[in-house]
Amino acid sequence: MRRFACPQCGNRVFFNDHQCLKCATSLGFDHLADQIIATDGLSVCANRSEYKCNWIAAGGTACQACSVEVGPPASDPEVDEFRSAIRRMLRQLHVLQVEYVYTTPNLRFALRRSTDDSKVVIGHEDGLITLDVAEADPVYREETRARLGEPYRTSLGHVRHEAGHWHWQACIATNTETLAKFRATFGDETIDYPDALARHYAVGDDGKWQAEHLSFYAGAHPWEDYAETFAHLLHLTDTLETARAEGLALPAWGTPAQRYQQWIDVTVSLNELSRSMGMSDLYPFAPPPTAINKILFLAGIIPAVNLA
Ligand SMILES: [Zn+2]
Ligand SMILES: [Zn+2]
Ligand SMILES: [Zn+2]
């Protein structure tokens, strides 16, 4: 994320802010300009008070971020966490010049909530991403994370992973040449998906995935491998952008591989910072060379990514 300042007084403000804490100027996020601006005399999103959305919208209608939500639930802390994650991801797509409205399929989100009686299946179908806002409850999420043996599980991670499934369908499957390159890098995605998943869980986590994949789940099927890689690329570009904006990393230089190494250097520092506070590693991954190649392949598909 980049740094934002109050347009009125210059005080530091943040991506989700509605108001400057210093001078009380009403603020909104202009997603086209990628800027926090004063809302005086401008149209704010129709959901500003109800959904706490701080985006600017033409004509006082729902903003770009709200318009990709299907059947939106009322605001509460868990819903708000997912809304923030979706906005952060949409802002990245815009910065990386990845179109998501005028695509086939277009990107949409449905926020649902698991209860004891009915579990929401997180997933993607034809551009529609279903998310489980119960995952924003720390107890629920940590129980799930520990049960599945995952090193990393966050609302933002879910949003980025599922967006990867949409991106595959919208930007890889639609281009014969790109699809051929995808298959050469990730394998044949036409193998039966339910069968592959069943086999994956029958074998269990024997650690073999570490030689080829970013995560255990990435080894389940080429679609999951792609979604994990897409999420990783967004983790990487956001974290590097933030590190550079905060003066913690140098501007991009060198070849894609050298730029990738810059990211690894940043993650080593981030992990040491976390350990200094007695927290677990911020970046609990160690991508093997084949997984790095997949990240670099994807960086080549999205030219605005600063790795290729
Ligand atoms: Zn201010
Ligand atoms: Zn909105
Ligand atoms: Zn998936």
Q: Report pLDDT for 306.
A: 61
In angstroms, the Cα distances linking 160 to 7, 85, 102, 230 are 30, 9, 19, 7
Distance 162 CA to ligand 3 centre (A): 6
Distance 50 CA to ligand 2 centre (A): 10
pLDDT level of residue 307 (50, 70, 90 thresholds): low
Mean pLDDT of 122-149: 92
Selected residue with higher pLDDT from 267 and 251:
267
Distance 35 CA to ligand 1 centre (A): 14
> Which ligand lies nearest to the CA atom of residue 66 in the structure?
2
Distance 291 CA to ligand 1 centre (A): 44
Mean pLDDT of 38-62: 89
User: What digits encode the pLDDT tens for the residues 1-18?
Assistant: 999 999 999 999 999 999
Packed helices 222-245 and 289-301: angle between N→C axes, nearest 10 degrees: 80
Distance 192 CA to ligand 3 centre (A): 15
Average pLDDT, the chain: 92
Residue 199 DSSP class: H
Distance 103 CA to ligand 3 centre (A): 20
> Which ligand lies nearest to the CA atom of residue 48 in the structure?
2
Whether the predicted pLDDT of 74 surpasses 90? no
Mapped to the 3 state alphabet, what secondary structure does 131-187 carry?
Answer: EEHHHHCHHHHHHHHHHHCCCCCCHHHHHHHHHHHHHHHHHHCCCHHHHHHHHHHHC
Domain locations in the chain as residue ranges: 1-62, 68-167, 175-308
Burial (0-12, 13-18, 19+ Cβ within 10 Å), 253: exposed
Distance 56 CA to ligand 1 centre (A): 18
pTM as predicted? 0.94
Sign of CA dihedral 30, 35, 36, 41: negative
User: What digits encode the pLDDT tens for the residues 160-169?
Assistant: 999 999 999 9
Mean pLDDT of 120-125: 93
Those residues whose beta carbon sits under 5 angstroms from the ion ligand 1 are 6, 8-9, 11, 20, 22-23, 25
pLDDT level of residue 308 (50, 70, 90 thresholds): very low
Structure tokens at 139: 């107890």
Contact 135, 84 (CB under 8 A): no
Distance 224 CA to ligand 3 centre (A): 5
Contact 104, 170 (CB under 8 A): yes
DSSP of 55-122, one letter per residue? BB-GGGS--HHHHTBSSPPPP-HHHHHHHHHHHHHHHHHHHTT---SSSSSPPEEEEE---SS-----
> Which ligand lies nearest to the CA atom of residue 19 in the structure?
1
> Which ligand lies nearest to the CA atom of residue 229 in the structure?
3
End-to-end CA distance of the chain: 20
3 state SS of 303:
coil
Phi, psi of 302, deg, nearest 5 = -110, 90
Is the bond preceding residue 222 a cis peptide, omega within 30 degrees? no
Those residues whose beta carbon sits under 5 angstroms from the ion ligand 2 are 45, 47, 53, 55, 63, 66
